[in-house]
Chains A and B, each alone.
Chain A
Amino acid sequence: DQQVKQNSPSLSVQEGRISILNCDYTNSMFDYFLWYKKYPAEGPTFLISISSIKDKNEDGRFTVFLNKSAKHLSLHIVPSQPGDSAVYFCAASEKAGTALIFGKGTTLSVSS
């Protein structure tokens, strides 16, 4: 059974608009959540993270929101740029320094 779910396999957005990528999890022991971005033929690149004691973390154009009661997190990218087109993975772990559990990814396409 998948512990981290990204139910939308793809998302298309116009340049300048907001991209919202969603992620749901089932394990209430998860303490730390991360978003990774992956281009073809490259390894995933860390984007932004949030610990369970927070409900929002912002870094430039990227903001992650965590709703613990709903076991849901989302990544907002605003404004979206064509270079943001990639596969975005949501990941979670029970404590820092342990293995990450990944979702299947959402492919974001930003058109100019």
Chain B
Amino acid sequence: GAGVSQSPSNKVTEKGKDVELRCDPISGHTALYWYRQSLGQGLEFLIYFQGNSAPDKSGLPSDRFSAERTGGSVSTLTIQRTQQEDSAVYLCASSLSILNEQFFGPGTRLTVL
């Protein structure tokens, strides 16, 4: 079956522009997570959606970051007024609600010039 997919795979943008990153989770997975990995760092949690509950936004680094999940499936991570320090690989993962194993997509490499 299909795994987690993300688009685009690479995104180069200019400082100050807005970007949208998309995640398609595994069908039937109710939990969806966004992480990012900056150069030389581990994966940093950003936000997580679980079913119809309010998302856990505790990892978002600033109010320039937001995410939504429509219809309990596809999610979009939006970064407004991008800064150079936003450059990273943004990873999406999904899981069945009661299990902890998270399945990751290939990531979107964001470069802010």
Contacts and interface: CB of A to CB of B under 8 A. Distances in A.
Contacts, number: 64
Interface string B23-65: 0000000010101000011111100101000001001000000
Interface residues of A, number: 25
A97 B97 contact: yes
Interface stretch (A40-48, A61-69, A75-83): A40-48
Q: What's the interface size class on B, roughly?
A: 20 to 34
B40 A46 contact: no
B2 interface: no
Given A32-B100, A98-B48, A99-B48, A43 B106 contact: yes
6 contacts: A4-B42, A44-B91, A97-B50, A97-B97, A100-B102, A102-B44
Interface of B: 4, 31, 33, 35, 40-45, 48, 50, 56, 59, 91, 93, 95, 97-107
